[in-house]
């Protein structure tokens, strides 16, 4: 099965807009900006600013240096975009796996009078499929919690330490 490119995440679009604003505030066209950043083509910058492509870490550092920003000022936003993209990709794959397991599940053999006939609301396969869906929902909730912790860790500093202390004292 061929996979489509992931859709831009909110943080990826936000990073693209921030980079676009920097370029525009300095009155640079895409072509001039690309040349000043050491690139011969400008199409990559178009894709980045429109949120279709995530800039590499060295390119983000180059933006910071070129526009006189504090080192690491854009890195947190890039990390947040990476976490969101990872959530998006893994979430899609979990849903695909659930759909594939539901589609591939063989029909149970009918056993008259046992409530296990094909199509019965009480068949063992229905219970199994519901269990898989519950497990997927729990996994998605766990991924959300992990993503939240990673974002806070990477961008929160001392506030992250307080957050972890609060979570561990409540039994998270």
Look over the chain and give the mean of its residue pLDDT values, rounded to a whole number: 77
- First-last CA distance in the chain: 38
- The CA-atom distances, in angstroms, between 52 and each of 19, 43, 47 are 13, 11, 5
pLDDT of residue 117: 47
Task: State both tokens at 75.
Answer: 């890195």
152 inside domain: yes
Q: What is the CATH number of the domain that holds 60?
A: 1.10.260.40
Q: Is the pLDDT of residue 3 over 90?
A: no
Question: Which of residues 81 and 140 earns the better pLDDT score?
Answer: 81
Cβ atoms of 63 and 55 within 8 Å: the answer is yes
CA 60 to chain centre: 19
Whether 56 and 108 map to the same domain: the answer is no
Whether 165 and 81 map to the same domain: the answer is yes
pLDDT of residue 121: 47
Rounded to an integer, the average pLDDT of 16-44 is 94
pLDDT per residue over 113-125, tens digit each?
A: 545 444 444 445 4
Whether 82 and 153 map to the same domain: the answer is yes
**Among candidate residues 70, 88, 114, the one where a domain is terminated:** 70
Whether 14 and 66 map to the same domain: the answer is yes
Whether 32 and 47 map to the same domain: the answer is yes
Backbone region of residue 68 per phi and psi (left: phi > 0; alpha: psi in -120 to 50; beta: other values): left
- Would you tell me the crossing angle of helices 75-104 and 124-156 to the nearest 10 degrees? 170
116 inside domain: yes
Give 115's DSSP letter.
Answer: T
Cβ atoms of 141 and 103 within 8 Å: the answer is no
The span from the CA of 43 to the CA of 39, in Å, is 10
Give 87's DSSP letter.
Answer: H
2 inside domain: no
pLDDT per residue over 52-90, tens digit each?
A: 999 999 999 999 999 999 999 999 999 999 988 888 888
Residue 18, Cβ neighbours under 10 Å: how many? 16
Domain total of the chain: 2
Whether 99 and 27 map to the same domain: the answer is no
pLDDT of residue 129: 63
Task: State both tokens at 138.
Answer: 């729990």
Whether 105 and 161 map to the same domain: the answer is yes
Task: State both tokens at 124.
Answer: 């063992």
Q: Return the residue matching tokens 């920003």.
A: 69
Whether 59 and 127 map to the same domain: the answer is no
Q: Is the pLDDT of residue 146 over 60?
A: yes
Question: What is the residue range of 96's domain?
Answer: 76-169
Of 24-28, 112-116, 128-132, 141-145, the range with the lowest mean pLDDT is: 112-116
Whether 130 and 51 map to the same domain: the answer is no
Contacts of 166 (CB under 8 A, 6+ apart): none
**Among candidate residues 19, 44, 70, the one where a domain is terminated:** 70
Whether 80 and 165 map to the same domain: the answer is yes
**Among candidate residues 70, 86, 111, the one where a domain is terminated:** 70
Overall pTM surpassing 0.75 (yes/no): no
Whether 64 and 80 map to the same domain: the answer is no
4 inside domain: no
Cβ atoms of 57 and 78 within 8 Å: the answer is yes
């Amino acid at each position: 099965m061929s996979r489509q490119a992931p859709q831009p995440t909110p943080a990826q679009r936000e990073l693209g807009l921030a980079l676009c604003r920097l370029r525009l505030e300095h009155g640079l066209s895409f072509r001039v900006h690309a040349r000043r950043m050491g690139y011969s083509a400008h199409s990559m910058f178009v894709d980045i600013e429109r949120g279709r492509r995530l800039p590499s870490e060295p390119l983000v550092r180059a933006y910071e240096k070129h526009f006189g920003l504090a080192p690491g000022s854009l890195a947190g936003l890039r990390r947040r975009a990476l976490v969101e993209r990872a959530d998006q990709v893994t979430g899609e794959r979990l849903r695909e796996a659930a759909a594939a397991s539901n589609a591939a599940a063989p029909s149970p053999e009918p056993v008259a009078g046992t409530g296990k006939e094909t199509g019965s609301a009480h068949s063992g396969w229905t219970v199994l499929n519901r269990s898989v869906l519950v497990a997927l929902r729990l996994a998605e909730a766990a991924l959300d919690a992990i993503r939240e912790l990673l974002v806070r860790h990477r961008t929160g500093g001392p506030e992250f330490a307080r957050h972890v202390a609060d979570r561990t004292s409540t039994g998270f």
